[in-house]
Structure 1
């Protein structure tokens, strides 16, 4: 795959040229990881105007680190860029696919401030998405996750609503893996489905300082089609000493995302996160998300 340095004279494209919204996309597993590429394709298929800006290589566990990119000496992840390629670059034939030689948050920052606006006539993104991460991001993993860090940066520093997606099925995959494993396609379809539901709910897509932490269970013989999955409103931390949650499924304490992940069945946890501390958002914000996504949500058995 031939890569060249980022172009700064690309012709502007209408904000809603693809019939959707402007979406900036990132991850922490690297720009050439298959999960993020499958999701990119699914968002484009949904009609969104999406631009990927992700690390040049796997930077998992880098939390909210943000350091200016520096020129690469070696090739990018999966040999997806040649040595001595500079600090940032893009796919020569698909310039909406971009890499930044730094941490995930840095890649998101460049995507919001520099890369995305080239395609959007100077406009900012309407929504930020990250992932799907290779592996779950639950409870104690959340503060350290670069996938989460990018979403929290978009919300907390730029005021852009954001969603972080993670999938329990492990195993890194190159962008050009063929045939594409079912888990990558299923996660992409699920992530696009929730994104579309958030967009369809109307602006503002999420309350201020709120992001969604979404975790898919392992893809399996049972959970092998997007239609088989059910969505559960959850919380990030246990909340033993926290105020009551929004009333849902007959109670005022939402299940933790870990409870959802450890349960039997194809259940997806959707936690309403507070960008100020990466913990669970208060009940008032949960209620807004519940109203927006209510028709999509289910209860644990």
Structure 2
């Protein structure tokens, strides 16, 4: 039976992870290794300054105490899978909130998929986009469209093959709608995210200053051909973006050489 390793960045008891487990258990053996607490926006961080404890929650279900999603994938692939065997697929999610545009670089959800493909395992990161503040998702959202989508993608991969070369993964974002409202799937590029300064300054009872970093509204720069992930979601499409880990700006190599030599 094919095996899928699941993780997330919202924590081992997150409702999105539970929806993911429910969607995939009928088609494969599931192993879950997730952070013990919320690690949203931790990026591709690997813990090097302290030991990490792998706690068993249930059969094939573990949490990593204060570990990142990257830690979860790294530890599980190198300890839970023996004799060189690896799972057939790693899936990270279902994240509560979008992971589109440059937010992918912050995302612990995407980082887990990055780590998987670095280790030679095909991977998908899947996120449920919210309407406003994610209160709709946290209060009884059934993840129906997300569950249908990930089950279909995983089955296609397990029955056939992964469509990308090594060190590339699929980044999937689900619009905040019911399945019968969905217009289909669009293969997209990562959009141009626009950011603001949403930090809040406060003082504690001792007069010491501290800051809360807030959540930026989902604003982006529109593209001419409407092919980015933000625009697909706005039009009620599922967005699937192929992501590569090579961040080199190849078109600028000659420009930099000329710049240095002039």
What TM-score results when the alignment is normalised by the length of structure 1? 0.64
- Does residue 42 (structure 1) correspond to residue 23 (structure 2)? The answer is yes
- Counterpart in 1 of 2:188? 234
Question: Does 1:181 pair with 2:140?
Answer: yes
- Answering whether residue 153 of structure 2 is matched by residue 194 of structure 1, we say yes
Q: Give the drift of 1:153.
A: 1.1
Confirm whether residue 261 of structure 1 aligns to residue 217 of structure 2: no
Instruction: Indicate conservation of the 8 Å contact 1:28/1:59, yes or no.
Output: yes
Q: Tell whether the 8 Å contact from 1:134 to 1:172 is kept in structure 2 after alignment.
A: no
Distance 1:261 1:87 in 2: 38
- 2:74 is matched with which residue? 109
Paired residues for 1:86-101 under 5 Å: 87-91=53-57, 94-101=58-65
Please list, as runs of the form range in 1=range in 2, the aligned pairs for 1:1-80 lying within 5 A after superposition.
Answer: 16=1, 21-45=2-26, 47-67=27-47
| Counterpart-to-counterpart distance in 2, 1:226 and 1:152 | 32
Aligned residue pairs total 214
Task: State the match for 2:168 in structure 1.
Answer: 210
Secondary structure, aligned partner of 1:183: coil
Report the secondary structure of 2:16's partner residue.
helix
Larger Rg: 2
Residue 129 of structure 1: which of 91, 102, 115 is its match?
91
**Following the alignment from structure 2 to structure 1, what is the Cα–Cα distance between the partners of residues 229 and 245?**
17
Give the root-mean-square deviation of aligned CA atoms: 2.8
TM-score of the two chains, using structure 2 as the length reference: 0.73
Change (3 A) 1:63 1:193: same
Extract unaligned runs of 5+ from structure 2. 193-224, 250-262
Tell me the alpha carbon deviations over residues 64-86 of structure 1, each in whole angstroms, 9 at most, x when there is no partner.
00115967xxxxxxxxxxxxxx8
Structure 1: runs of 5 or more not aligned: 1-15, 72-85, 175-179, 239-252, 280-301
Whether contact under 8 Å (1:33, 1:173) holds in the other structure is no
Per the alignment, residue 146 of structure 1 pairs with 108
Q: Cα–Cα, structure 1 residues 69 and 42, in superposed 2: closer, same or farther, change >3 Å?
A: farther
Residue 160 (structure 1) aligns with: 121
Deviation at 1:225, TM superposition (A): 2.8
